Amino acid sequence: MRVRVSLLIIGFSILFASTAVAQDQGNRVSVTSVIVTEGGASTGQATSLSIGIRRAVESMDGLRYTDPVDLLSTTSVPEAVQDAVDDLEPIADMVRSGDPNAAADRAAHAVAVFEENLSAVRRASLFDAYMLDAIAHCRMDQRRRCIQGFERVLTFREGAEYDTARYPDAYSAVFEETRSRVSAGPRASLRIITNPEGAEVFVDGASFGPSPAIAENLLAGEHYVTVKAVGYEKLVARATVRSRSTESVSLLLQPIARALLLERDLARIPSELGQEQAGPVISGLSGYLFVAQIIVGLISEAPNGELDVGLYLYDLRTRFLLSEKHATIASDASALDRARELTESLYHGVDLAGTVEAPELDDGTPRVVDPARPLWKRWWFWTAVGVVVVSGATAAYLLTRDSGADVPEGFTRLSGSAQ
């Protein structure tokens, strides 16, 4: 029993230590952004700035952007959704070589579950379920149902490729014929209005900027609208576009209780911006925005109607201010591109590990900069803990193994000397 306990302690210690090291030495650094508005700047202008920041981060090696809406979201994946996702692989096997009738029934069930829980489903899973349903009907020689299924997925994912590694190659030609016909079909526009205004609007995964927004050149049929605004739950809804007309959809966002923390902190952040090390408010963001780095944007309206923008890059691991940039940009559609350029310049020369070059002392010698990071946040701390636990567990095991079986009285296995 002691042996098993010791081995478990060793295993968990090594796992904990290696996990801590992986978190500090991962391939990509996680980044998010928050925008503080002052002096008449609108939520929509803040959204445009955040879109530019996101696009810049996503284009740079070594970084991974996570939307603050997703970090604050309380939406969990329902068990029925996870079960349907897990069922997609068995359905794919059935579609390729099993009973197509059973495959069609199970695929239809997965589609129904996904449609009822759109905010908790990845678009790739929804697409896959529709494809499997269509191909199951192809195998059943129900050509009309097969083509209707392909039309459905191509309407909201026009550029989709037919994956012959997952779907039977026999129906790829039908898929491409359907694509040619669907792409040549009528198109129209969709106007998206949100409450509150200024939320970022996506249609079929493509961003159309802050609301109110118009998504143009959409194929007639059903599409998926996703809306994100800091402080509110992500919302996903279906919207039908009819040919040669502009449809409108109004969406009401629901507040997130956790965002009250961010709302409180946003008002206090400006007083700390520009400090060499993050103050308590900016440092505290790591308590609920679980990322390594954060870009804080501060925007206000300039007298000429343009926007004064300041970007501050803080590393929440070391608490250093890594970089800051300031610019005055136009408040029109070009704001997004200028925000992207400003963010790219923000990262010029930045060490992604979160360190900064230490300034010299008066006598010219380098100063050692201590980020005052808590011991428990340092990877070597947990490595040391792991070593201590492993050593102690090993010693305990050796001391107690076969206790008294073949050791002379008054001796121990470790010392070989009298007690």
Q: What is the 3-state secondary structure (H, E, C) of the chain?
A: CHHHHHHHHHHHHHHHHHHHHHHHCCCCEEEEEEEEEECCCCHHHHHHHHHHHHHHHHCCCCEEECCHHHHHCCCCCCHHHHHHHHHHHHHHHHHHHCCHHHHHHHHHHHHHHHHHCHHHCCHHHHHHHHHHHHHHHHHCCCHHHHHHHHHHHHHHCCCCCCCCCCCCHHHHHHHHHHHHHHHCCCEEEEEEEEECCCCEEEECCEEEEECCEEEEEEECEEEEEEEECCCECCEEEEEEECCCCEEEEEEECCECCCHHHHHHHHCCCHHHCCCCECCHHHHHHHHCCCCCEEEEEEEEECCCCCEEEEEEEEECCCCEEEEEEEEEECCCCCHHHHHHHHHHHHCCCCCCCCCCCCCECCCCCECCCCCCCCHHHCHHHHHHHHHHHHHHHHHHHHHHCCCCCCCCCCECCCCCCEC
Decide if pLDDT at 398 tops 80: no
| pLDDT of 164 over the 60 cut | yes
- For residue range 99-156, what is the model confidence (pLDDT) as tens digits? 999 999 999 999 999 999 999 999 999 999 999 999 999 999 999 999 999 999 999 9
Confidence at 208, pLDDT banded by 50, 70, 90: very high
- Of 184-188, 262-266, 322-326, 381-385, the range with the highest mean pLDDT is 322-326
What's the pLDDT score for residue 361? 56
Given a cut of 90, is residue 176 above it in pLDDT? yes
The answer on pLDDT for 400 being more than 60 is no
Confidence band (pLDDT; 50, 70, 90) for 376?
very low
- pLDDT tier for residue 358 given thresholds of 50, 70 and 90: low
pTM of this prediction?
0.78
Residue 18 pLDDT more than 50?
A: no
For residue 360, the model assigns a pLDDT of 57
- Taking residues 363-392, report their average pLDDT: 50
pLDDT the model gives residue 207: 96
